[in-house]
Amino acid sequence: MDLKNLWSRSLEILKDEINSINFKMWIAPIEPTLYENNSLTLSVDGPFALEMLQARLMPNLKRAVEEACGTTTEILIVNKKSIKTAIRLPSKSNIKYSFDSFIVGPSNELAFAACKQFADFSDADFNPLYIYSNVGLGKTHLLLSIHNSLINKGLKVKYITSERFTNEYIKAIKERKTELFRSEHRSCDALIVDDVQFLSGKTQTQEGFFHTFNDLYLNDKKIILAGDEPSKLIEFESRLTSRFQSGLVVDIQPPDYETKVAIIEYKSEKLGLNINSEIIDYVAQLCQVNIRQIESILNRLKAMSQLRGEQISLDGAKSMIIGFDDIKIQNKPLPSDVLNKVAAHLGVSEEEIKSNSRNAQVVYARRISSFILNKDLNLTLTASGNILGNKNHATILNAVRFIENSIDSDFDLRYNLQTIRNSLKIF
């Protein structure tokens, strides 16, 4: 993929994930300058923009670029005015997403061992491999570690999210290029699919995925899947879930304290971040749910220490990561909780919110539900749509943008949204 097309596709993805104000302020001014050898160089205007991207929007940026190009990518951000201020982030393909950089503990050792065996390819005596866990516990890390290992062996490997698979499948049907789609996904030595739960409710896409799965399986190609626990996948054809469980199914549990400490020490070293044992203990105690929270906190500490040019104390660390309190660090509310609270506050039923009713109050409730699911629970537009009665991508996007555009001028909307957030303990 050339630089222009890569950045264009990345921007399309980012527009769906980032609110319009942040997009216009931080993303739109970025200029792509070079893409080669799975490395993308981006230019920004000034050191403040560079720091803000690294501290706040880099996870979104990296995810969008890698989804756009379909492979792990190193990103280099440079300040147009001073090349010396460039910040090189760890390369996913060489550092971040490898087996060597995966911290193993009691909560994930079986999944790690299974993935290592699968990466040996010819030695794995099970197929497919299915990994499940809650978000942020390392599924994608392990998938990309397998991907990189097989690529280094000279094998043809396809890594894709189920959402991207769906979008490409629909596009192929519309453009009458289904043969090309089949060829691309069935000619590989190994197919790696992340977040398979988002195929829920998509009957036609499940049909296409079923035949892709069968073709690869019957030709002794490797299949690696990750998502929710397969027995709990809703609106899935039974023939698919039975195939998901026909090989080896392993889970990943939240890390214990010792594993979290090891993760913090490893990631701090890779970031060049010098923090003492008190800060390490504080972060390990604070992060109760997943590893992404640890990464987010360490990135913030790194950015702030660079800006201030000083070593971080425990009190300094607490002030820098304010907002990552016990309420925010613990489990987010379930999507079902969101619908329940919205329905109760606005005097409509959950069934009405999920319906296609155009009643003004129901539409209002649906829009607020869409906004909270997408922005507060960080669900994709597709996942939010599935929860709200299989609404399409565009419907959820329009609802989210309506709330964003109205919230500053509509006092009642702000009051209702904040009241519902408070009831969900989203602060």
Q: What is the CATH number of the domain that holds 275?
A: 1.10.8.60
Boundary of a domain, candidates 329, 354, 385: 329
pLDDT tens-digit readout, 194-235: 988 888 878 888 999 999 999 999 998 999 999 888 777 767
Q: How far apart are CA 203 and CA 223, in angstroms?
A: 21
Range of the domain at 242: 107-251
Show the tokens assigned to 376: 């507060």
Are 272 and 191 within one domain?
A: no
Q: How confident is the model at residue 1 (pLDDT cuts 50, 70, 90)?
A: low
**Mean pLDDT across the stretch 263-291?**
83
- Tell me, yes or no, whether 49 lies in a domain: yes
Are 292 and 374 within one domain?
A: no
Instruction: State the total domains in the chain.
Output: 4
pLDDT tens-digit readout, 330-340: 456 888 899 99
Q: What is the CATH number of the domain that holds 61?
A: 3.30.300.180
Which of 77-81, 272-276, 375-379 is the least confident region? 77-81
pLDDT tens-digit readout, 404-414: 888 877 878 88
Which of 330-334, 343-347, 373-377 is the least confident region? 330-334
- Tell me, yes or no, whether 191 lies in a domain: yes
Selection from 10-14, 62-66, 210-214, 286-290 with the highest mean pLDDT:
210-214
pLDDT for the residue 322: 60
Are 313 and 349 within one domain?
A: no
Boundary of a domain, candidates 223, 251, 279: 251
Per-residue burial over 82-95, b if 16 or more Cβ lie within 10 Å, else e, is eeeeebebebbbee
pLDDT of 362 > 90? The answer is: yes
- Tell me, yes or no, whether 101 lies in a domain: no
pLDDT of 306 > 60? The answer is: yes
Are 135 and 173 within one domain?
A: yes
pLDDT for the residue 83: 42
**Mean pLDDT across the stretch 126-153?**
87
Are 236 and 168 within one domain?
A: yes
pLDDT for the residue 87: 37
Amino acid identity of residue 332, one-letter, is K
Are 126 and 223 within one domain?
A: yes
pLDDT for the residue 92: 37
Are 154 and 226 within one domain?
A: yes
Cβ–Cβ under 8 Å, residues 6 and 32 = yes
Q: How confident is the model at residue 245 (pLDDT cuts 50, 70, 90)?
A: confident
pLDDT for the residue 123: 59
pLDDT for the residue 289: 65
Selection from 27-41, 64-78, 351-365 with the highest mean pLDDT:
351-365
In three-state form (DSSP H/G/I as H, E/B as E, the rest C), the secondary structure along the chain is: CCHHHHHHHHHHHHHHHCCHHHHHHHHCCCEEEEEECCEEEEEECCHHHHHHHHHHHHHHHHHHHHHHHCCCCEEEEEECCEEEEEEECCCHHHHHCCHHHCCCCCCCHHHHHHHHHHHCCCCCCCCCEEEECCCCCCHHHHHHHHHHHHHHCCCCEEEEEHHHHHHHHHHHHHCCCHHHHHHHHHCCCEEEEECHHHHCCCHHHHHHHHHHHHHHHHCCCEEEEEECCHHHCCCCCHHHHHHHCCCEEEECCCCCHHHHHHHHHHHHHHHCCCCCHHHHHHHHHHCCCCHHHHHHHHHHHHHHHHHHCCCCCHHHHHHHCCCCCHHHHCCCCCHHHHHHHHHHHHCCCHHHHHCCCCCHHHHHHHHHHHHHHHHHCCCCHHHHHHHCCCCCHHHHHHHHHHHHHHCCCCHHHHHHHHHHHHHCCCC
**Mean pLDDT across the stretch 180-191?**
88
pLDDT for the residue 197: 85
Are 144 and 59 within one domain?
A: no
pLDDT for the residue 331: 53
Are 317 and 345 within one domain?
A: no
**Closest listed residue to residue 107, CA positions, set 308, 318, 262, 252:** 252
Show the tokens assigned to 231: 């027995």
Q: Which residues contact 295 (CB under 8 A, 6 or more apart)?
A: 59, 267
Boundary of a domain, candidates 251, 267, 292: 251
Higher pLDDT, 290 or 361: 361
pLDDT for the residue 172: 86
pLDDT tens-digit readout, 381-392: 888 899 999 998
- Tell me, yes or no, whether 155 lies in a domain: yes
pLDDT of 95 > 60? The answer is: no
Are 354 and 407 within one domain?
A: yes
pLDDT of 327 > 60? The answer is: no
